[in-house]
Structure 1
Amino acid sequence: MAIKKNELYSSLWSSCDELRGGMDASQYKDYVLTLLFMKYVSDKYKGDPYGMILVPPGASYDDMVALKGDKEIGDKINKIISALAEENDLKGVIDVADFNDEERLGKGKEMIDRLSKLVGIFEGMDLTSNRADGDDLLGDAYEYLMRHFATESGKSKGQFYTPSEVSRILSKVIGISDKTPQDATVYDPTCGSGSLLLKASDEAPRGLSIFGQEMDNATSALARMNMILHNNATAKIWKGNTLADPQWKEATTHGKAQLKTFDFAVANPPFSNKNWTSGINPAEDEFDRFTWGIPPEKNGDYTFLLHIIKSLKSTGKGAVILPHGVLFRGNAEARIRENLIKQGYIQGIIGLPANLFYGTGIPACIIVIDKDRSVYRDSIFMVDASKGFMKDGNKNRLRSQDIHKIVDVFTKQLELPRYSRKVPFTEIAANDYNLNIPRYIDSSEPEDLHDLSAHLQGGIPNADIEALNNYWQVFASLRSCLFEPARPSYSQARIKASEVKATILQHEEFKTFAAQSLIPFTQWKERAQLKTIQLGEQPKAIIHRISEDLLESYAQSALLSKYDIYQILMDYWAEVMQDDVYVLVQDGWQAGRVLRELTANKGEKLKETPDLVIGKSKYKAELIPPVLIAERFFSSQLRQIEQLQANLDSATQELESFVEEHSGEEGLLCEALNDKDKVTAASVKARLKLAADVEERKVLQQCSKLMDAESHAKKALKTAQDELDLAIFKHYSTLDEEDIKVLLVDDKWLATLQSNIVAEIERVTQQLANRVKELEERYSEPLPAITQSVENLSDKVAGHLKAMGLEWAE
Structure 2
Amino acid sequence: MAIKKTELYSSLWASCDELRGGMDASQYKDYVLTMLFMKYVSDKAKNDPSAMIDVPLGADFKDMVALKGKPNIGEGINKIIAKLAEENDLKSVIDIADFNDEDKLGKGKEMVDRLTKLVGIFEGLDLSGNRADGDDLLGDAYEYLMRHFATESGKSKGQFYTPSEVSKILAKVIGINAGTSQDSTVYDPTCGSGSLLLKASNEAPRGLSIFGQEMDNATSALARMNMILHDNVTAKIAKGNTLAAPEWKETNGELKTFDFAVANPPFSNKNWTSGINAEQDEFKRFSWGVPPEKNGDYAFLLHIIKSLKSTGKGAVILPHGVLFRGNAEARIRENLLKQGYIKGIIGLPANLFYGTGIPACIIVIDKETAASRMLKDPLDLSKTEGGIFMVDASKGFAKDGNKNRLRAQDIHKIVDVFTKQLELKGYSRLVSLREIAGNDYNLNIPRYIDSSDGEDLHDLSAHLAGGIPERDVAVLDNYWQVLPSLRDSLFAPLRPGYLKAKVVARDVKSTILNHSEFTAFATMATAPFANWFAEAKLDSIDGSELPKALIERISEALLSRYDNIPLISKYDVYQLLMDYWAEVMQDDVYVLVQDGWDAGKKLRELISAKGDAKASKEVPDLVIGKAKYKAELLPPSLLVKRFFASEQTKLEQLQAELDSLSQELESYIEEHSTEDGLLAEALNDKDKVTAASVKARLKLAQDADERKALKHVQQLFDSETSAKKAVKEQQDQLDLLVFKRYATLTIDEVKTLLVQDKWQATLQGSIQAEIERMGQQLASRVKDLEERYAEPLPQITQSVDILSAKVVEHLKSMGLEWAV
TM-score (norm 1): 0.99
Matched residue, 2:128 = 128
596-605 or 425-434, larger mean C-alpha shift: 596-605
Q: 1:47 to 1:181 in 2, by over 3 A?
A: closer
Give, in whole Å, the separation in 1 of the partners of 2:278 and 2:533: 60
Shift in Å, 1:666: 1.2
What RMSD in Å do the two structures reach over aligned CA positions? 1.0
> For 1:259, what is the secondary structure of its paired residue?
coil
Matched residue, 1:550 = 558
Give, in whole Å, the separation in 2 of the partners of 1:807 and 1:48: 100
Matches within 5 A, 1:478-489: 478-489=486-497
Matched residue, 2:372 = 376
Q: Is the 8 A contact 2:592 2:599 kept in 1?
A: yes
Give, in whole Å, the separation in 2 of the partners of 1:700 and 1:486: 68
Matched residue, 1:215 = 215
Letter of the 2:10 partner, please give it: S
Match of residue 749, structure 2, among 714, 739, 761:
739
Matched residue, 1:79 = 79
Deviations 1:578-600 (A, max 9, x none): 00000000110000011111122
Letter of the 2:326 partner, please give it: G
Matches within 5 A, 1:523-562: 523-562=531-570
Matches within 5 A, 1:484-523: 484-523=492-531
Give, in whole Å, the separation in 2 of the partners of 1:107 and 1:164: 38
Is residue 694 of structure 2 the alignment partner of residue 684 of structure 1?
A: yes
Letter of the 1:759 partner, please give it: A
753-762 or 677-686, larger mean C-alpha shift: 677-686
Matched residue, 2:335 = 339
Matched residue, 2:635 = 625
Deviations 1:621-668 (A, max 9, x none): 000000000111111101111111111111111111111111111110
Q: Is the 8 A contact 1:133 1:537 kept in 2?
A: no
Matches within 5 A, 1:69-468: 69-252=69-252, 257-377=253-373, 378-468=386-476
Shift in Å, 1:49: 5.0
703-712 or 586-595, larger mean C-alpha shift: 703-712
Q: 1:415 to 1:48 in 2, by over 3 A?
A: closer
Q: Is the 8 A contact 1:46 1:55 kept in 2?
A: no
Shift in Å, 1:170: 0.1
Q: Is the 8 A contact 1:497 1:773 kept in 2?
A: yes
> For 1:107, what is the secondary structure of its paired residue?
coil
Q: Is the 8 A contact 1:528 1:546 kept in 2?
A: yes
Give, in whole Å, the separation in 2 of the partners of 1:47 and 1:424: 57
Q: Is the 8 A contact 1:324 1:365 kept in 2?
A: yes
Deviations 1:3-22 (A, max 9, x none): 10000000000100000010
Deviations 1:468-494 (A, max 9, x none): 111111111111111111111111111
Matched residue, 1:723 = 733
Shift in Å, 1:736: 1.1
Q: Is the 8 A contact 2:319 2:360 kept in 1?
A: yes
Matched residue, 2:16 = 16
Letter of the 1:246 partner, please give it: P
Letter of the 2:505 partner, please give it: A
Q: 1:301 to 1:786 in 2, by over 3 A?
A: same
Deviations 1:778-807 (A, max 9, x none): 000011111111121111112222222222
> For 2:254, what is the secondary structure of its paired residue?
strand
Matched residue, 2:377 = none
> For 1:472, what is the secondary structure of its paired residue?
helix
Matched residue, 1:65 = 65
Matched residue, 2:707 = 697
Which consecutive residues of structure 1, in runs of 5 or more, have no partner in the other structure? Answer: none
Q: Is the 8 A contact 1:132 1:585 kept in 2?
A: no
Shift in Å, 1:206: 0.4
Q: 1:703 to 1:407 in 2, by over 3 A?
A: same
> For 2:699, what is the secondary structure of its paired residue?
helix
Q: Is the 8 A contact 2:47 2:128 kept in 1?
A: no
Give, in whole Å, the separation in 2 of the partners of 1:697 and 1:484: 68
Q: Is the 8 A contact 1:132 1:537 kept in 2?
A: no
Give, in whole Å, the separation in 2 of the partners of 1:671 and 1:142: 63
Percent same amino acid among aligned pairs? 75
Is residue 579 of structure 2 the alignment partner of residue 579 of structure 1?
A: no
Letter of the 2:753 partner, please give it: L
Matched residue, 2:803 = 793
Q: 1:631 to 1:47 in 2, by over 3 A?
A: closer
Shift in Å, 1:809: 2.9
Is residue 793 of structure 2 the alignment partner of residue 802 of structure 1?
A: no
Q: 1:381 to 1:161 in 2, by over 3 A?
A: same
> For 2:349, what is the secondary structure of its paired residue?
coil
Q: 1:601 to 1:46 in 2, by over 3 A?
A: closer
Give, in whole Å, the separation in 2 of the partners of 1:493 and 1:352: 42
Letter of the 1:211 partner, please give it: F
Letter of the 1:502 partner, please give it: S
Letter of the 1:261 partner, please give it: T
Q: Is the 8 A contact 1:201 1:207 kept in 2?
A: yes
> For 1:495, what is the secondary structure of its paired residue?
coil
> For 1:477, what is the secondary structure of its paired residue?
helix
Q: Is the 8 A contact 1:220 1:238 kept in 2?
A: yes
Give, in whole Å, the separation in 1 of the partners of 2:34 and 2:617: 24
Q: Is the 8 A contact 2:436 2:442 kept in 1?
A: yes
Letter of the 1:659 partner, please give it: I
Matched residue, 1:714 = 724
Give, in whole Å, the separation in 2 of the partners of 1:310 and 1:133: 34
TM-score (norm 2): 0.97
552-561 or 349-358, larger mean C-alpha shift: 552-561
Which consecutive residues of structure 2, in runs of 5 or more, have no partner in the other structure? Answer: 374-385
Q: Is the 8 A contact 1:659 1:679 kept in 2?
A: yes
Q: 1:637 to 1:47 in 2, by over 3 A?
A: closer
Shift in Å, 1:53: 0.6
Q: 1:75 to 1:47 in 2, by over 3 A?
A: farther
Matched residue, 2:646 = 636
Give, in whole Å, the separation in 2 of the partners of 1:558 and 1:663: 61
Deviations 1:54-81 (A, max 9, x none): 0001101000011001101101100000
Matched residue, 1:761 = 771
